[in-house]
Amino acid sequence: MKSKRIAIIGANGMLGSDLVAYLSKHFSVTAITKENYTSFVNKDFDIVINANGNSKRFWANEHILEDFTLSTVSVYKSLFDFEYKVYIYISSSDVYPDHTNKKSTKEDQPIFSSALSPYGFHKYLSELIVQTNVKKYLILRCSFIAY
């Protein structure tokens, strides 16, 4: 019996599609994409997983405003477009100025936003938006993902 209702925003993306395939084996999963997003607005879920947003670091650094819209505005919007008990945001290790150094990526290390690339800053800003507006959340900072 699939009791938990999970929505995955960004279900057509690389990570989102894998989450849909895996979690659908155990839970009732709703795949939310750009094409069907509006049809699920105001729907209720146990968990919303946001795997949406721009994942192209280099493009983001050259198209700052577009990346802000894709990576930050979309997160803010999703917080209010759906009802949920838990919100999971898939972020990036780019929120650390030096995400290649094990010491600088510890959770207790302060993050200095002025040292971040536009891509990392937008991901970090989205994390702060989630932390400020959601009671129960989980933020996952993924490293480089490739097939």
Give tens-digit pLDDT for 80-113.
Answer: 999 999 999 999 888 888 877 777 777 778 888 8
**Least confident segment among 7-21, 61-75, 108-122:** 108-122
Is the C-alpha dihedral spanning 120, 121, 125, 126 positive or negative? negative
The span from the CA of 72 to the CA of 52, in Å, is 10
Q: Are 109 and 115 in contact (CB under 8 A)?
A: no
- Residue 1 has what pLDDT? 52
> Residue 2: what pLDDT?
64
Least confident of 37-41, 63-67, 105-109: 105-109
- Which of 1-5, 46-50, 75-79 shows the lowest per-residue confidence on average (mean pLDDT)? 1-5
49 pLDDT band (50/70/90 cuts)? very high
Longest dimension (CA), the chain: 48
User: Where is average pLDDT lowest: 38-47, 61-70, 126-135, 136-145?
Assistant: 136-145
CA contacts within 13 A on the Cβ side of 1: 1
Q: Is 91 helix (H, G, I), strand (E, B) or coil?
A: strand
d(CA 9, CA 16): 7
- Pairing of β 83-92 and β 137-142: parallel
Let me know: does 66 contact 41? Beta carbons within 8 Å: no
Give me 138's structure tokens: 């989980």
Q: At what angle do helices 118-133 and 74-81 cross, to 10 degrees?
A: 20
Looking at residue 145, what is its pLDDT?
55
Where does the pLDDT of residue 147 fall: very low under 50, low under 70, confident under 90, or very high at 90 and above? very low
Mean pLDDT of 59-66: 93
Go through the domains of the chain in sequence order and give each one's CATH number.
5-142 (3.40.50.720)
107: Cβ–Cβ under 8 A, 6 or more apart, which residues? none
What is the pLDDT, as a whole number, of residue 101? 76
